[in-house]
Copies of this chain bind each other. A is one copy, B any other.
Amino acid sequence: MKADKKPAKKLEELGSKLVADINKGKNPTIEFSSRTLSNVVYDTKTKTLGLGEKQQQRTFFNVGHAKKFLQTLEVAKISKNLLDVGKHASLRDVFYMAKRTMHDSSINVVDDQVESDKALEDLELITDLSREQLNINANKMGSVAGNVVIEDSGDTINWAKLGSGGWSIPSNVEDIEFKSIKAKYVIYMEKQAVWERLHEDKFWEKQNCLIVTSQGQTTRGIRRLLQRLSQEHDLPIYVLADFDPWGFYIYSVLKFGSINLAHMSDTMTLQNARFLGVTADDVANYDLKKHFIKFKDVDLTRIKQISDYDWFKKNKEWQRQFKMMKDFGAKLEIQALSSKGITFISEKYLPEKIKKREFLD
């Protein structure tokens, strides 16, 4: 584990600043960007969600702020301890560590994980450090395979030599070192079963690419892994998901960021991600109408919301997709491709689409 002194130092500076306030007889104050929805803006230049100019203050001598102030410092203390001993904790761990009384009080510092999570998000903003840099991890999920050699925790690991399972992606990939990468692109897919299909068919070997999967939503560990592959090694990321509002949403979050993580867009978004499939055009091109799953009300509501996102609103190609989906009144799972034959996806669908560069941007 690399001992990164910077995050610990930033936390110390935060503490010293507050001690200085106290010594000067001033009200201890923390200042950081406001995270209210009205301050979340879509930056048309960087094409990501980010925070605007609004600042907020949190002061100790303020009935409305005092508890949050305390919670922020409690989480900062927990993170500092973790950094000092070189250990990592999960969000749930942090909650249990912060759920304690102080001195004679019978009131807990936090009673609900929502409180410690919020305090931690504030701390990310205050220090400009990600949760991962603060040694606090998200959920672990997902697998990867391909011609890549990495070094992690003292081990040299070859992603091409891990049998049918692949490498299990940790929740925190900040300390991984890439030793060698032989690949032209990365396919990220929502479904483990599709990953196992491509892996068994040696897709990554034949097509000279990497295959990455989670199960359902993309965890922060996976997003950071994809971002590092994309930024440090210039690999394009192709997203493979169901043809449904959820599949589009996965792509949207990966590429443009999310409201919750608007303050993290620079380390979390994937500028050069492209949507590979399944698209509305695939339905006709590969004769998949038979496998439509009829929209429920919630699907229609969701696709209307998504089509209204700033970054999709002026994108004709995407609006065309949304309209076609609405007109179909139906969605389609990627595994419907199996009806064409078990290796159809790896031998025909994907090679064809990638060759023709049929991406949505």
Q: Which one of B140, B142, B150, B167 contacts A193 once the chains associate, using CB atoms below 8 Å?
A: B140
Main secondary structure of the interface of A (DSSP, over half): mixed
Whether the pair B82, A193 counts as a contact (CB closer than 8 A) is no
The stretch of A17-25, A276-284, A336-344 in contact with B is A336-344
Residue of B nearest to A225 (CB): B165
* Cβ of A153 under 8 Å from chain B: yes
Convert A151-190 into 0s and 1s, putting 1 for each residue whose CB lies closer than 8 angstroms to a CB of B. 1111111000111111111111001100000000000000
Q: A85-B342, A291-B99 are in contact. Are A93 and B193 (CB under 8 A)?
A: yes
Q: Which one of B97, B99, B139, B153 contacts A164 once the chains associate, using CB atoms below 8 Å?
A: B153
* Cβ of A141 under 8 Å from chain B: yes
Please give, as numbers and ranges, the residues of chain B lying within 8 Å of A170 by CB-CB distance: 163-166, 196
Q: A85-B342, A99-B339 are in contact. Are A163 and B137 (CB under 8 A)?
A: no
Whether the pair B171, A167 counts as a contact (CB closer than 8 A) is no
Q: A150-B163, A342-B85, A342-B93 are in contact. Are A168 and B143 (CB under 8 A)?
A: yes
* Cβ of A360 under 8 Å from chain B: no
Taking the closest CB of chain B, its distance from the CB of A334, in whole angstroms, is 9
Whether the pair A157, B150 counts as a contact (CB closer than 8 A) is no
Whether the pair B168, A88 counts as a contact (CB closer than 8 A) is no
Convert A297-328 into 0s and 1s, putting 1 for each residue whose CB lies closer than 8 angstroms to a CB of B. 00000000000000000000000000000000
* Cβ of A117 under 8 Å from chain B: no
Residue of B nearest to A81 (CB): B342
* Cβ of A192 under 8 Å from chain B: yes
Convert A11-37 into 0s and 1s, putting 1 for each residue whose CB lies closer than 8 angstroms to a CB of B. 000000000000000000000000000
Whether the pair A90, B157 counts as a contact (CB closer than 8 A) is no
Taking the closest CB of chain B, its distance from the CB of A1, in whole angstroms, is 8
Q: How many copies does the complex hold?
A: 2
Alpha-carbon separation in the docked complex, A157 to B163 (Å): 7
Most buried by B among A82, A94, A168, A339: A168
Alpha-carbon separation in the docked complex, A90 to B168 (Å): 20
* Cβ of A200 under 8 Å from chain B: yes
Most buried by B among A82, A100, A141: A141
Whether the pair B291, A200 counts as a contact (CB closer than 8 A) is no
Whether the pair A335, B90 counts as a contact (CB closer than 8 A) is yes
A103-155 with Cβ < 8 A to chain B: 137, 139-143, 150-155
Please give, as numbers and ranges, the residues of chain B lying within 8 Å of A100 by CB-CB distance: 339
Q: Which one of B87, B168, B200 contacts A200 once the chains associate, using CB atoms below 8 Å?
A: B87
Whether the pair B88, A200 counts as a contact (CB closer than 8 A) is yes
Q: Which one of B139, B143, B335 contacts A96 once the chains associate, using CB atoms below 8 Å?
A: B335
* Cβ of A92 under 8 Å from chain B: yes
Whether the pair B96, A338 counts as a contact (CB closer than 8 A) is yes
Whether the pair A96, B172 counts as a contact (CB closer than 8 A) is no
Q: Can you offer 12 A-B residue contacts whose CB atoms are under 8 A? A: A88-B200, A89-B197, A96-B336, A97-B342, A137-B193, A142-B168, A150-B163, A152-B163, A162-B167, A164-B170, A167-B167, A167-B168
Given contacts A139-B215, A157-B165, A166-B168, 8 further A-B contacts (CB under 8 A): A87-B201, A90-B193, A99-B291, A139-B193, A152-B164, A162-B167, A164-B170, A166-B170
Which 8 residue pairs are nearest across A and B when measured between Cβ atoms?
A: A152-B163, A168-B168, A90-B193, A93-B338, A143-B168, A164-B170, A140-B192, A165-B170
